[in-house]
Chains A and B, each alone.
Chain A
């Protein structure tokens, strides 16, 4: 190990220590005597499922929460954070998963916002030079004059990192750093993280899934489960299976069983479909495909390549500007959303909290949103809430939703449990076709496995499933056929069993591999 000192930090020297951190919330022990040690120049991943206490620990580290017990030491000095300002002042930087940027401002304005040296009159020229130097040093590329709303998710993350570095962060906490990134963006980010670690920064990524990334980049891993540290490993001694077992508390099967089902009649036929984005440009260009009974048709792509628009057009939430959509041979291009539901379409939207549910409604009411038109549950406009309640209870039991009861508000459920309710209310109707847009995004390993298996079950039951996902491995594992989408157009349609990860990965980045003939 080298022993050089840069900026007062010694490589391998502990910079941040947590001792016996405990945090209780009403009814929950979120953090239970957690000990952690972070060293300069080290990438130390914190791994855990949703609800393992990661978020709480992260907030304590950043001064957003105060621990009930335990001590925090920075370079051997005991410290107390009363607010994020204290943490920032001591060199801790945080890159949030829910981006904390002002969309209307430029990149540079976001970076200097709240900076103590910004000056009364903003000296954007000097700040720009300093930030450009940081970009140069760690290999970040972003247009400082662009407005943030114009940036991709990966670029926004770069802005967040730059903001923390510009504030002088030496300990960088990253919340789910790769969850929204394209494969190419992920690679660049990992290279930059490596460069920062070489510069004696301590990098602390908090990760729910994507275990391969943990293995590829980190030096050490700490695994949390149920608020406790269950494992502390050097990454060299870890593998995917060990980490998953420590996270979930049982063996996890990574290979999903690809059920072979006789492919039936075509259910959803899409011909030359085009649609506009919210900003008014052509986001979906002339897309054609057919999904059959007993088939999962996977659309792989990086966020913002038209797959979202496709899902909305199919669900009747966005008008098509060209092409046709047929459901069981019936033209539904201009049909209302309600007609589509009646004809047997089930929709699982990407936005669980905004579109998939109403936070202030109970689970019963949220379930009723898919049944108020069904004569079995509503007669002459009066909803049969007794029957709705029974159905909701069945969904809760069948899908193992963790909730005190069916009358709980949707907003009080965790992402995974809410997704199970949404999935359950759609599947309970035995839909002909299921449009599943990012069904496992943000879910932990256990819930992801569950949702994926339910989609396979639906397929076995004869449903046509359209799976839209940004997780390449998920698409590859589940789909019978795969369509990589790039800038609103399919790059081809590949048979699922034979598609190679590298090929699909190249295609969603817009390049056609030379050795591949489509």
Chain B
């Protein structure tokens, strides 16, 4: 049973990294649905570099760098060119899917490096991911920078009038967010399951995206959600653990999405709006055009 929970925690750490990256993006008003693509890139290039150099550090560094570059690319399309955020994000996903398959197929198979040692029986990244939650929360809610980021995501016009550069703030967020997504991919490919395969992520990025909506854009709820989703994910791999033979792994895998749908439905009810106000960043998904 410990093994089950340990693996669940390790699944949730990947959700946490990726979803925190997406949350930072979205709080500044930029939706990046290409999160799966960024993770694929980070994972694949990190995997290749780690394997060729024999250095985990180089692998992670490359993954973070690639994530940052893809974040910047998304920023260029959506912030500078005022392009549609969903279209740009889908483009990044499809590009990631295609290109990593092409580049990575030569490296299919296990990583071949000694495993990263565990701490208390789980990956050290579990602790890093949990530690990152209060950091993101503090920056967003207690610092000037965080107030600027949230203002840009809620009402870029007001932010601009208040002397904040909307473009610069959004670029910062897509870059940092992209770094976290790329890193999340590398944690998967170098630590969680160090074997390269065709389309090995199979929806981790999309679950992380759903997790941000589930979290109501709150890092603490995001952490809770990612722990929960981690358990569901692990159940999807070993469905016989709870209800043997009853539900296939593919049904379990949809559970996080089903929960997110319920949360989104709840959010749109008058009851919820009256009680919680608007949780969703008001300007999410809208390009900001200065006039």
Which A residues have a C-beta under 8 Å from some C-beta of B? 84-85, 88, 96, 100-105, 109, 112-114, 118-122, 147, 149-150, 276, 278-281
Contacts and interface: CB of A to CB of B under 8 A. Distances in A.
Nearest to A94: B161
Contacts of B163: 84-85, 88, 114
12 contacts: A102-B159, A103-B278, A103-B282, A104-B150, A104-B278, A104-B282, A105-B151, A114-B159, A121-B142, A279-B273, A280-B273, A280-B274
Given A102-B150, A105-B154, A149-B277, 9 more contacts: A85-B163, A88-B163, A96-B161, A103-B282, A113-B147, A119-B144, A122-B147, A150-B277, A276-B270
B270 A113 contact: no
A279 B158 contact: no
B157 A122 contact: no
A130 to B, nearest CB: 16
Contacts of B145: 120
B148 interface: yes
B144 A120 contact: yes
A118 B163 CA distance: 13
Contacts of B147: 105, 109, 112-113, 118, 122
B99 to A, nearest CB: 38
B143 A280 contact: no
Chain B at the A interface: SS class: helix
Interface string B137-166: 000001111011011001101110111100
A413 B278 CA distance: 33
Nearest to A83: B163
A280 B148 CA distance: 31
A279 B274 contact: yes
Contacts of B273: 278-280
Decide if the interface of chain A is mainly helix, strand, loop or mixed: loop
Contacts of A105: 147, 150-151, 154
A120 B138 CA distance: 12
Nearest to A112: B147
Q: Which 3 A-B pairs have the closest CB atoms?
A: A114-B162, A280-B270, A114-B163
Interface of B: 142-145, 147-148, 150-151, 154-155, 157-159, 161-164, 270-271, 273-274, 277-278, 281-282
B276 to A, nearest CB: 11
A283 to B, nearest CB: 12
A102 B158 contact: yes
Contacts of B148: 113-114
B158 A101 contact: yes
B139 to A, nearest CB: 9
Contacts of B150: 102, 104-105
Contacts of A149: 277-278
Nearest to B154: A102
A147 B277 CA distance: 9
A150 B178 CA distance: 35
B143 A113 contact: no
A281 B274 contact: yes
Contacts of B154: 102-105
A174 B254 CA distance: 54
B141 to A, nearest CB: 9
A105 B148 CA distance: 11
A121 B274 contact: no
A149 B163 CA distance: 22
Contacts of B270: 276, 278-280
Nearest to A104: B154
Contacts of A278: 270, 273
A150 B275 CA distance: 12
A113 B159 contact: yes
Nearest to A150: B277
Given A113-B151, A149-B278, A281-B274, A100 B161 contact: yes
Given A102-B158, A280-B271, A114 B164 contact: yes
A26 to B, nearest CB: 15
A150 B148 CA distance: 21
Contacts of A96: 161
A276 B274 CA distance: 12
Nearest to A281: B274
Contact of A102 (B142, B143, B151, B271): B151
Contacts of B162: 100, 113-114
Contacts of A100: 155, 157-158, 161-162
A114 B150 CA distance: 12
Nearest to A119: B144
A85, A102, A150, most chain B CB atoms within 10 A: A102
A431 B62 CA distance: 70
Nearest to A98: B157
Contacts of A109: 147
Contacts of B277: 104, 147, 149-150
A85 B270 CA distance: 39
A118 B158 contact: no
Contacts of B282: 102-104
Given A120-B144, A120-B145, A122-B147, A102 B161 contact: no
B281 to A, nearest CB: 8
B15 to A, nearest CB: 25
Contacts of B164: 113-114
A101 B164 CA distance: 14
B155 A103 contact: yes
A96 B155 CA distance: 15
